[in-house]
Amino acid sequence: MDLLNTLVDKGLRRELPTREEALAVLATSDDDLLDVVAAAGKVRRHWFGRRVKLNYLVNLKSGLCPEDCSYCSQRLGSQAGILKYTWLKPDEASEAAAAGLAGGAKRVCLVASGRGPTDRDVDRVSDTIKAIKEQNEGVEVCACLGLLSDGQAERLRAAGADAYNHNLNTSESTYGEITTTHTYADRVDTVQRAHAAGLSACSGLIAGMGESDADLVDVVYSLRELDPDSVPVNFLIPFEGTPLAKEWNLTPQRCLRILAMVRFVCPDVEVRIAGGREVHLRTMQPLALHLANSVFLGDYLTSEGQAGKADLEMIADAGFEVEGAGEVTLPEHRVTAGAGGGCGSHEGAGCGSHAEGGCGSAAGAGCGSHAGGGVCGTAPEPAVAEQRTEPHTEPHTGPRTDLVAVRRRGAGTDLAPNA
């Protein structure tokens, strides 16, 4: 296809595709899907080789959020039966992070539900960052705490934070349809504050909320303009008890097209497969590794994911390798440009959570993890997860509610985490 050849050439040059080209990727047929994956895979391998970066979520404070984000199980008025607990102590959070690091993660994502942190909250998280870094040499720490106020990004940076996650989630024109307690502009402002403080910005989207192709292209082009180093792509987890519980709009093929479009628009950025990959990509997850160079290991904020051990086997079986702690994730031109490097712009500057997070967390997270009997997770599977993994003789044709399981282990519980 001439379209794909053009997109590969532009991706290798870090040149922005046209909106028509991006929309055309989303409109490709199933017959052309493998060609789309192969083309985007060339761009991915050019900038990131066959490395896969592992990230691990720690939910510092779960539930009881005053914001009304429709996709979120921790939202105001949510009837989802999730874990609810207040702030983890620094040693508890550090212990939770250690499980993910032992499983191969190189970045820990510290997430807390809420509109945004108070100055006291920033102190709590700063103490947690210091505890994790003191006990784990070379670990990257990303904070995801919601909307930032004056000076808070600088304080997190001074405490040792490497990155800050705050997702745009959807297009500006439709943002008011999913959230009313804060604005799209508020989110943009927080990403810009992180940039200005010298933090590596992490900002992504949630697909599957009923948006159009144009909405998806709009938010990805907005992300490219904001120039984050990491773009987590979350797929809506339709939690019972939330307004979007009935939104089952995604197929594995649709998810792959979305990931390919993101790769073409931001060719040299860390594209992370975040929340919902197990629910919507399912057995097509290995193909997604040809498009994204980063995933979450372990359970997500309020839901379970795939067994950590299964993730590591999937990466190896697909011919990829886990990125080592000493390896630099981003291409050299982005590293030398710093947190403000361009997102693949042809001018020369180069460019992850809906893990059911709060105002600033991606429900799959800019920064998340999943479930099963992982490398370090020795906890028995909850009954709901056992039901989810039982083999079935008839193919599923409707919503896969059997794949949505509430997290019952790890942070905030007495059970070992999955990692």
User: What pLDDT digit, counting tens, does each position of 78-97 carry?
Assistant: 787 777 889 999 999 999 99
With 70 as the cut, is the pLDDT of residue 385 above it?
A: no
State the CB neighbour count (10 A cutoff) for residue 332. 9
For residues 358-385, one letter each, b for 16 or more C-beta atoms within 10 angstroms of the residue's C-beta and e for the rest, the string is bbbbbbbbbbbbbbbbbbbbebebbeeb
Q: For residue 38, which amino acid is it?
A: A
Instruction: Determine phi and psi for 111, rounding to 5 degrees.
Output: -120, 140
Return the pLDDT at 83: 77
Return the pLDDT at 135: 92
C-alpha 414: how far from its chain's center?
26
Q: Which domains does the chain have, with CATH numbers?
A: 2-326 (3.20.20.70)
With 90 as the cut, is the pLDDT of residue 418 above it?
A: no
pLDDT digits (tens, 9 = 90+) for 37-62: 999 999 999 999 999 999 999 999 98
72 is in an annotated binding site: yes
* Out of 167-171, 234-238, 292-296, 341-345, least confident range: 341-345
How far apart are alpha carbons 411 and 20 in whole angstroms? 44
Instruction: Determine phi and psi for 191, rounding to 5 degrees.
Output: -60, -40
Catalytically annotated residues: 65, 69, 72, 109, 142, 202, 272
Helix axes 90-102, 119-135, angle to 10 degrees: 40
Per-range mean pLDDT, top range of 267-281, 344-358, 382-396 = 267-281
Task: Specify the 3-state DSSP secondary structure of 273.
Answer: strand
Question: What is the model's pTM?
Answer: 0.88
With 90 as the cut, is the pLDDT of residue 403 above it?
A: no
Q: What single DSSP character describes residue 413?
A: S
With 70 as the cut, is the pLDDT of residue 377 above it?
A: no
Cα distance between the two ends of the chain: 40
- Identify the residue with better confidence: 338 or 417: 417
- Identify the residue with better confidence: 303 or 116: 116
Q: What percent of the chain has a predicted confidence (pLDDT) above 90?
A: 68
Q: For residue 115, which amino acid is it?
A: R
351 is in an annotated binding site: no
255 is in an annotated binding site: no
343 is in an annotated binding site: no
Return the pLDDT at 109: 97
The first and second tokens of residue 400, run together, are 């896969």
Task: Specify the 3-state DSSP secondary structure of 344.
Answer: coil
Return the pLDDT at 79: 81
266 is in an annotated binding site: no
With 80 as the cut, is the pLDDT of residue 340 above it?
A: no
pLDDT digits (tens, 9 = 90+) for 170-194: 999 999 999 999 999 999 999 999 9
